[in-house]
Amino acid sequence: MQYSLVVGGELVPGARSLDVVNPATGDVFATCACADAEQVNAAIAAAGSAFSAWAASPASERSRMLEALADRIAAEAEELARLLVSEQGKPFGDAMGEIMASAAMLRYFAGFQLEDEVVCDDETARIVIHRAPLGVVAIITPWNSPVLMLANKIAPALRAGNTVVCKPAASTPLTTLAIGAMCAEIFPAGVVNVVTDANDLGDRLTANPAIAKISFTGSTATGCKVMANAAQRITPLTLELGGNDAAIVLDDADIEAVAPQILGAAMRNAGQVCLATKRAYVPEDLYDAMCDKLAELAGEIVVGNGLEQGVSMGPIQNRTQYEKVLGFLDIAKEDGRVIAGGEAIDGPGNFIAPTVVRDIASDSRLVTEEQFGPILPVISYSDIEDVIAQVNGSPYGLGGSIWCGDVSRGLAVAARIETGIVWVNKYMDLRFDVPIGGVKSSGVGVEMGREGILSYTRRTVINSQPASAA
Ligand code: ADP
């Protein structure tokens, strides 16, 4: 298959090309189009030209096309999932889950009713909050869940009447280009544009004065650069950045029930999830038993090529991140006691054994920084107040979880955690109608739900004479 850019409704070859590596084998398995700065500008111009007609089109038309895209993605789910495994590494079942969730996300926003809100209608005034699309939205996505991150941005952006220029990460461009080609057949020319880069044109995209909004998911460091560009023109933006989510186990928790969930939340997608559990705090009395159980379960995880049957964890997506995770393994050995994994797995792929680390101090870099890999540090505690202070002392504020017997105790702790979402006795329960977003260095704004789609609109308050005065 040819993987072309999508600019102005056309599939166009790139000014450059990009080799795509399968992280499970280390082999280049595909080559795709890669844009240069002029092609990024052309995509922005095409989106700009398409904007007013798209914004003026009936909402029902826009919904119909989002539904058509969802149908197309669902119809080609297996093929897309295989492509996703090949470029990203996750197990095939998880890849299918991502593809189908993306189709469902498109359908959710296709059905969303975005109506003006009447806030006052009496003898003094009629006041309406009118919502209109913003213009050209720059959509920049990361390499951990490229399809879902694309869907949760284009669905609300397009439904609200914006046009988009999408840029995937340089190491996972193929699924986005494949979906871009579908969009070229479904949407009017210029409504959906896709450009790729060699991790060097994001800056061009966000600095372009024709961009009306930026929606970015990626690291906090890159998010800072995006925000600096947005600051030049006060461009609205949504940033979904890093996290250091804690799992806090209370002293009445049932270890057998809780351990598999905590480990699952830490190891999903080989730990490469912004909302993954990145540290666990366990009371002294439960500590040994919990560590033993986590280590036992980590040993049962089957690591390998996500296209092979029975594999439950794939490789680290790219070499740079792999080297970073290896560095965290060194810290694990120095600062704690490794009770499962602890090593890279031999072979050409970026595989790392699921790792559990105990007897580690809460100020180790493995605890205070975001590892974004399959390494779970488990910290013993005696005073829950200390844990709450440590968790809230993090510069991050994305998510977290509380694990307990008596739910009312869990809820009381949850209310004191300074993050965008806290789960109690569950994890990663994400719903399309529930806004999600980080606080502090984990981000600005929210995605999903009513608040999510409203962030792709401008608000005009229309305050008029009451109808009775006419
Ligand atoms: P990582 O550091 O793990 O590669 P990033 O946050 O840098 O993750 O990448 C997320 C996305 O941001 C990718 O699509 C990447 O190409 C893009 N990106 C990288 N640098 C910039 C930048 N200066 N401005 C905008 N986007 C960027």
Residues facing 459 on adjacent strands: 131
Q: Are 164 and 47 in contact (CB under 8 A)?
A: yes
Token digits of residue 254: 């049932």
Q: Does residue 217 sit within a domain?
A: yes
CA 355 to ligand 1 centroid distance, Å = 27
Judge if 305 and 231 occupy the same domain. Answer: no
Summarize pLDDT for 332-386 with one digit per residue, the tens. Answer: 999 999 999 999 998 899 999 999 999 999 999 999 999 999 999 999 999 999 9
- Say how many domains are in the chain: 2
Q: In this predicted structure, what is the pLDDT of residue 149? A: 98
> Do 82 and 225 belong together in one domain?
yes
- Cβ contacts of 171 within 8 Å, gap of 6 or more: 20, 21, 87, 143, 317, 318
* Overall pTM > 0.75: yes
Q: Based on the fold, state whether residues 127 and 270 are members of the same structural domain.
A: no
| Residue 1 confidence (pLDDT) | 75
Task: State the pLDDT at residue 469.
Answer: 65
Question: Which of 21, 87, 140 has most ligand 1 atoms within 8 Å of CB, for mutation?
Answer: 140
166 is catalytic: no
Q: 234: Cβ–Cβ under 8 A, 6 or more apart, which residues?
A: none
Rg (Cα) of the chain, in Å, rounded? Answer: 23
Same domain (yes/no): 319, 446: no
- What are φ and ψ of residue 282, in 5° steps? -130, 135
Identify whether residues 347 and 413 lie together within a single domain: yes
Residue 469 lies in a domain: no
* Assigned domain for 432 exists: no
Burial group, residue 189, by CB count within 10 angstroms (0-12, 13-18, 19+): middle
Other CB atoms closer than 10 Å to residue 396's CB: what's the count? 27
* Rounded distance between C-alpha atoms, residue 271 and residue 354, angstroms: 9
Q: At what angle do helices 174-186 and 59-75 cross, to 10 degrees?
A: 130
Domain contains 429: no
CA of 247 to the centre of ligand 1 (A): 28
**CA–CA dist 53, 316 (Å, integer):** 43
Beta bridge pairs of residue 376: 356
Residue 14 shares a structural domain with residue 87: yes
C-alpha pair distances (Å), 103 with each of 77, 106, 406, 460:
9, 5, 37, 31
Quote the domain boundaries for residue 362: 245-424
Query: Looking at residue 347, what is its pLDDT?
Result: 83
Residue from 183, 274, 291, 404 carrying the catalytic annotation: 274
Considering the domain architecture, whether residues 206 and 270 belong to the same structural domain is answered as no
Residue 455 shares a structural domain with residue 414? no
Q: pLDDT value at position 427?
A: 97
Residues counted in the chain: 470
Question: Which parts of the chain register pLDDT below 70?
Answer: 469-470
Residue 275 pLDDT: 98
Q: Is 225 in the pocket of ligand 1 (CB under 6 A)?
A: yes
Residue with the smallest CA separation from ligand 1 atom 1 is 219
| Together in a domain, 403 and 447 | no
CA distances from 77 to 67, 73, 183, 454 (A): 15, 6, 15, 29
Q: Is residue 433 part of a domain?
A: no
pLDDT (tens digit, 9 = 90+) per residue, 193-232? Answer: 999 999 999 999 999 999 999 999 999 999 999 999 999 9
What is the pLDDT, as a whole number, of residue 335? Answer: 98
261 and 367 together in one domain: yes
- What order do you get walking across the sheet with 126-133 strand by strand? 117-121, 126-133, 457-464
Is the Cβ–Cβ distance between 14 and 33 less than 8 Å? yes
